[in-house]
DNA sequence: CTGAAAGCGCTAACAA
DNA sequence: TTGTTAGCGCTTTCAG
């Protein structure tokens, strides 16, 4: 592999000159430039990025830490990152996390090695220790889909989202509204918790009682959701509507309804969250969040942070959610009076 | 940021010793090691990866070039890559390609910079020029889902897949079988073309005539597929079955059937390809291919290539496909005699 | 406008 | 077992 030295010798100039040509520095004579360019061509030379990085103290690489790409929403956010980063000279390195230990390991490594120019953390809250380390080592960092008082972040108002979902059902006259999520207390994103809070807030503001028997949390995925829904729907005084914390789960609820011969939306209303592609197909009412946008915005924030070496208070952006009404929700079948008793 | 020199000074040893400690070289006295470890701790030292890379001439990074993550199948393959790479000390850098120019640009850069230790190219055939450059520069490279006589690759037998799909319908007694794909001649994967060949081969072997009016190609995506299907199904003597080159398109066909009040599978059989998650939900018969597996195998091949510096003839692995029968295919409604005329 | 040389931080060969 | 030193390939003063 030819080096800058080889090129210099071939073109009969100093390495400094070659470097200037490569880096489009204008202070080089046209004739000299031509000679150098010729030598580069002859030798099939191309600069060694690692050496340049060492010399410049910059990697042009951004670490993206995100949960294993099991959920469409992660993929969509990642696409946003790629879209934004694609317009720059940076490249993303993917650290796909399968479990909390791995997450901590990556975070630990990345927050002190001079390995990347910045960190993009997706859908995982940081511990105070982790935050402190990042701050101490001055690693430019942005969180997407997680909140943090000391670091820049992009969030989506999940409380409002959960509330919006429940409110939609309340507006349709439902009184017995169930809530179905995966484990509310996971090491990863806290969005489930927030949506739950939103759900409760909506009930409260509408003066409806909260019933813990109408809440189910468990494994993620469609089938687990289906099982939980079967359980939920087979109790006495079953709910007439279900808020699911993601569309996949909502589809699981649809499965359950079918098994129980419940018509949707006549007998049961179901609302999901995320507006993934599948949702349109099954005509699921859902809460849509700007997933792609969150990736884009987060990346831009990070690039800005890297460039400007800002040292100002952390910025927090909250992206809007939206109700997408489709065929899985309808007015409540029969009004019971629980809410007013 | 502390460097190895700082640590050496702090621990009152030479940098060589510190290096030995870091790299777990055993030839270092326990007491010395302890001193060094202490200094590392005190100084919050962590080695500069870029410097190590330059010194070692190795990056521990693998470039993954793949089409923009629009299709679930890409994501699944990528997950395979991550899974396999996760067990090693390497990390993937994503080069997500949106168009042919970008593909060529990335390929060009990556095949001559000393930027990564290996190249994983997904779902894109390489030109001879590109292949030659890779070979010339001795960049360890593996293709996944694309064939190449000179480079290691993992493929799935798409001809057999297309044939299997069509054969399944033929076995069910269908005679008028349509084929629906996105543009057969794209710069990206050639799988569509191969599936098309398989389709034709099945017809031929069954003695059924090929009708170009039963073939539609166009934009990708569900809606485009729906439009094409509407067109296809509204001609005189419409097909009783459709082979779609991917599940997304097959779902588009289902949309069209619904619009035309055709029952699936009673009036129309539909078979897809890929067995994406959605397919189970809509009970789509499809051809399943080992997507995750392809990513894993390809990555392993590459790592092997990097380690061993092999210089043997290119290896080619062909992964098996499988028919997954679900509810979208059934015996032909009425047997016409076109096949035997 | 250009050449020489001093780093960037680390590894590894060579002495001691 | 350890310290010293010569690279790794590039950028960037600093003279000229």
Q: Angle A15-22/A4-11 helices, nearest 10 degrees?
A: 110
The tally of domains found in chain A comes to: 3
Q: What is the CATH number of the domain that holds A20?
A: 1.10.260.40
In a domain, B326, yes or no: no
Cα dihedral sign for B282, B283, B285, B291? positive
Task: Calculate the angstrom distance between C1' of D2 and CA of B29.
Answer: 9
Contact across the interface for B112 and A281, Cβ inside 8 Å = no
B268 shares its domain with B169 = yes
Return the exposure string of A73-98: e unless at least 16 CB atoms fall within 10 Å of the residue's CB, then b: bbbbbbbbbbbbbbeeebbbbbbbbe
pLDDT at residue number A121: 97
Q: How does DSSP classify residue B269?
A: E
B184 shares its domain with B134 = no
Distance of CA A8 to the CA centre of its chain: 47
Q: Tell me: the pLDDT tens digits for A269-307?
A: 999 998 987 788 789 999 999 999 999 999 999 999 998
A204 shares its domain with A285 = yes
Residues of B with Cβ-Cβ distance to A96 under 8 angstroms: 82, 86
A168 shares its domain with A198 = yes
Q: Which residue is nearest to nucleotide D7 (CA to C1')?
A: B55
Residues of A with Cβ-Cβ distance to B278 under 8 angstroms: 277-278, 281
pLDDT at residue number A98: 85
Contact across the interface for B54 and A49, Cβ inside 8 Å = no
Interface mutation vs chain B, best among A50, A86, A101, most B CBs within 10 Å: A50
Return the exposure string of B194-206: e unless at least 16 CB atoms fall within 10 Å of the residue's CB, then b: bbbbbbbbbbeeb
Contact across the interface for B112 and A46, Cβ inside 8 Å = yes
Residues of B with Cβ-Cβ distance to A78 under 8 angstroms: 69
B244 shares its domain with B170 = yes
> How close is the nearest chain B Cα to the Cα of A242, in Å?
20
Q: Tell me: the pLDDT tens digits for A83-104?
A: 999 889 999 998 989 889 989 9
B75 shares its domain with B220 = no
Tokens of B250: 């097959």
Q: Tell me: the pLDDT tens digits for B135-187?
A: 988 899 999 999 899 999 999 888 999 999 999 999 999 999 999 998 887 76
Q: Is the pTM of this model over 0.85?
A: no
Tell me: cis bond preceding A265? Omega within 30 of 0 counts: yes
Taking only Cα atoms into account, the Rg of chain B, rounded to an integer number of angstroms, comes to 26
B276 shares its domain with B298 = no
A42 shares its domain with A66 = no
- Tell me if residue A6 falls in helix, strand or coil: helix
**What SS3 string covers A137-149?**
HCCCEEEECCCCC
A149 shares its domain with A163 = no
Q: Tell me: the pLDDT tens digits for B15-41?
A: 999 999 999 877 889 999 999 999 999
In a domain, B240, yes or no: yes
Q: What percent of chain B has pLDDT over 90?
A: 72
B215 shares its domain with B283 = yes
List phi, psi (to 5°) of B144: -115, 130
Interface mutation vs chain A, best among B22, B41, B50, B56, most A CBs within 10 Å: B50
In a domain, A329, yes or no: no
Contact across the interface for A113 and B48, Cβ inside 8 Å = yes
Q: Tell me: the pLDDT tens digits for A107-121?
A: 998 988 778 999 999
B148 shares its domain with B255 = no
pLDDT at residue number A337: 44
The number of helix segments (H) and strand segments (E) in chain B equals: 13, 12
Strand D: which nucleotides have any atom within 7 A of a protein Cβ?
Answer: 1-5, 7-14
Contact across the interface for B69 and A82, Cβ inside 8 Å = yes
In a domain, A335, yes or no: no
> How close is the nearest chain B Cα to the Cα of A284, in Å?
13
Q: Is B196 on the interface with A (CB under 8 A)?
A: no
In a domain, B329, yes or no: no
In a domain, A296, yes or no: yes
Q: Tell me: the pLDDT tens digits for B269-322?
A: 999 998 987 788 789 999 999 999 999 999 999 999 998 766 678 899 999 999
Q: Is B278 on the interface with A (CB under 8 A)?
A: yes
Domain that holds residue B152: 57-156+291-320
Q: What is the largest CA-CA distance in chain A?
A: 94
Residues of B with Cβ-Cβ distance to A112 under 8 angstroms: 44, 46
In a domain, B199, yes or no: yes
Smallest CA-to-CA distance from B64 within B101, B86, B85, B92 is with B92
> How close is the nearest chain A Cα to the Cα of B282, in Å?
9
A152 shares its domain with A165 = no
Q: A252 to chain B: nearest residue by CA? A: B281
Write out the E strands in B114-257. Answer: 118-122, 141-144, 152-156, 177-182, 215-218, 241-244
Q: What is the CATH number of the domain that holds B260?
A: 3.40.50.2300
Contact across the interface for B68 and A82, Cβ inside 8 Å = yes
> How close is the nearest chain B Cα to the Cα of A204, in Å?
35
pLDDT at residue number B128: 95
In a domain, B333, yes or no: no
Task: Calculate the angstrom distance between C1' of D8 and CA of A234.
Answer: 70
């Amino acid at each position: 592999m030819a080096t800058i030295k080889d090129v210099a010798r071939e073109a009969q100039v100093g390495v400094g000159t070659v470097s200037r040509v490569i880096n489009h520095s204008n202070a080089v004579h046209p004739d000299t430039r031509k000679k150098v360019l010729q030598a580069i061509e002859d030798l099939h030379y191309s600069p060694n990025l690692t050496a340049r990085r060492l010399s410049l103290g910059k990697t042009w690489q951004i670490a993206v830490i995100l949960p294993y790409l099991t959920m469409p929403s992660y993929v969509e956010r990642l696409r946003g990152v790629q879209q934004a980063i694609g317009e720059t000279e940076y490249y993303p390195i993917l650290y796909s996390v399968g479990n909390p230990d791995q997450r901590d390991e990556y975070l630990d490594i990345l927050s002190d090695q001079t390995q990347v120019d910045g960190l993009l953390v997706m859908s995982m809250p940081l511990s105070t220790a982790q935050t402190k380390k990042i701050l101490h080592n001055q690693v430019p960092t942005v969180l997407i889909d997680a909140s943090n008082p000391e670091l820049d972040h992009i969030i989506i108002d999940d409380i409002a989202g959960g509330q919006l979902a429940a409110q939609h059902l309340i507006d349709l006259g439902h009184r017995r509204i169930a809530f179905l999520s995966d484990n509310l207390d996971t090491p990863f994103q806290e969005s489930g918790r927030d949506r739950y809070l939103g759900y409760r807030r909506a009930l409260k503001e509408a003066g409806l009682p909260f019933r813990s028997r109408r809440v189910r949390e468990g494994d993620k995925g469609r089938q687990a959701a289906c099982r939980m829904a079967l359980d939920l729907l087979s109790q006495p005084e079953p709910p007439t509507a279900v808020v699911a914390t993601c569309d996949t789960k909502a589809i699981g609820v649809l499965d359950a309804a079918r098994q129980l011969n419940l018509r949707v939306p006549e007998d049961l209303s179901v609302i999901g969250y995320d507006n993934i592609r599948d949702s349109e197909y099954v005509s699921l009412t859902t809460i849509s969040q700007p997933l792609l946008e969150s990736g884009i915005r987060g990346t831009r924030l990070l690039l800005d942070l890297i460039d400007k070496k800002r040292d100002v208070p952390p910025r927090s952006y909250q992206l809007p959610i939206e109700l997408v009404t489709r065929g899985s929700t309808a007015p409540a079948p029969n009004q019971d009076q629980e809410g007013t008793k």
